[in-house]
Amino acid sequence: MLMKVYEHFAYLYVRGRYSRFSEKMAEILPMILEKFDARPHRILDVACGEGTFAVEMAKRGFQTVGVDISSEMLKFAKEKAKKENVDVKFICQDMRSLDFDEEFDLVTCWFDSLNYLLTIEDLEKTFAGIYRALKEKGLFIFDMNTRYGLAVGWSRYSCHIEQETEDILEIHQASYDFETDIATLRIIGFIRNGETWIRLDEEHKEKGYTLREIRERLRHVGFKELACWGNIKDMSEPQPDSRRVFFVVQK
């Protein structure tokens, strides 16, 4: 399921504003590392998408590996690394079955990618794989959409135009199921192809987890929580209306 939702959306993703989040995280990361006196050399970016964050880290001198389940997204990631003339290893792999053993000083997972895991079991599998991938004392830094963020943030505009240019039209339709805490985002896209238009349809689902559920799964696989923020810029605690939470945990 995870691969299919980005099979066509990748073409809209790389032309939209989505990469700005990864750019911001690349700018903020040095401040976080300084706060925890961390000096990583080798970084694993899980659910790396079209490679913005991984490439930015490589440009700053880090040895970087990017993992994503979407081969389409990785095509764009490889093109970006080549264009920026940096060496990033990109691997097509499901984040629920990571195959690394104490190879990284830092693992990141951005832009609510973990919310795509719709069961607590899959979330724990991913946390466990990341734990194994880290060296002793290594850090895992990630963000997730909160239930409030999905129920209110996603559903504020039940239908809106996400991007519109001469060559692209992208429409989002969102809903939230309060019984399952799963948000559904239907993406309808049109891409100009000469004198005709190609239509793309995808359905994205994200699961809203409580802070307690996330913390329990992290502790269960062995992580120690160093920080949890509702706002990463001022490093403030999550509030009831925080739409996103950021965690810093250590092996």
Q: Read off the pLDDT of residues 11-66 as tens digits, 9 standing for 90 and up.
A: 666 666 667 888 999 999 999 999 999 999 999 999 999 999 999 999 999 999 99
Interhelix angle 52-59/19-35, rounded to 10 degrees, is 50
Return the pLDDT at 2: 45
In sequence order, what are the beta bridge partners of 168? 191
CA atoms in the 13 A half-sphere facing the CB of 45: 27
Identify the CA nearest to 47 among candidates 64, 27, 67, 32. Answer: 67
**Residue 166 CB-density burial (10 A; 0-12 exposed, 13-18 middle, 19+ buried):** exposed
The tens place of each residue's pLDDT in the chain, 251 residues long, gives 444 555 566 666 666 666 788 899 999 999 999 999 999 999 999 999 999 999 999 999 999 999 999 998 999 999 999 999 999 999 999 999 999 999 999 999 999 999 999 999 999 999 999 999 999 999 999 999 999 999 998 877 778 788 888 888 888 889 999 999 999 988 888 888 888 998 888 888 999 999 999 999 999 999 999 999 999 999 999 999 999 999 999 99
Annotate the chain with three-state secondary structure.
CCCHHHCCHHHHHCCCCCHHHHHHHHHHHHHHHHHCCCCCCEEEEECCCCCHHHHHHHHCCCEEEEEECCHHHHHHHHHHHHHHCCCEEEEECCHHHCCCCCCEEEEEECCCHHHHCCCHHHHHHHHHHHHHHEEEEEEEEEEEECHHHHHHHHCCCCEEEEEECCCEEEEEEEEEECCCCEEEEEEEEEEEECCEEEEEEEEEEEECCCHHHHHHHHHHHCCEEEEEECECCCCECCCCCCCEEEEEEEC
- Looking at the domain that runs over 149-206, which CATH code has it been given? 2.20.25.110
- 4-145+210-250: CATH topology is Rossmann fold (3.40.50)
Return the pLDDT at 15: 62
The full set of domain ranges for the chain reads: 4-145+210-250, 149-206
Return the pLDDT at 3: 44
Return the pLDDT at 188: 87
Return the pLDDT at 20: 83
238 Cβ contact partners less than 8 Å away, ≥ 6 residues apart: 146, 211, 228, 229, 230, 245
Return the exposure string of 71-94: e unless at least 16 CB atoms fall within 10 Å of the residue's CB, then b: ebbbebbbebbeeeebebebeebb
Return the pLDDT at 9: 65
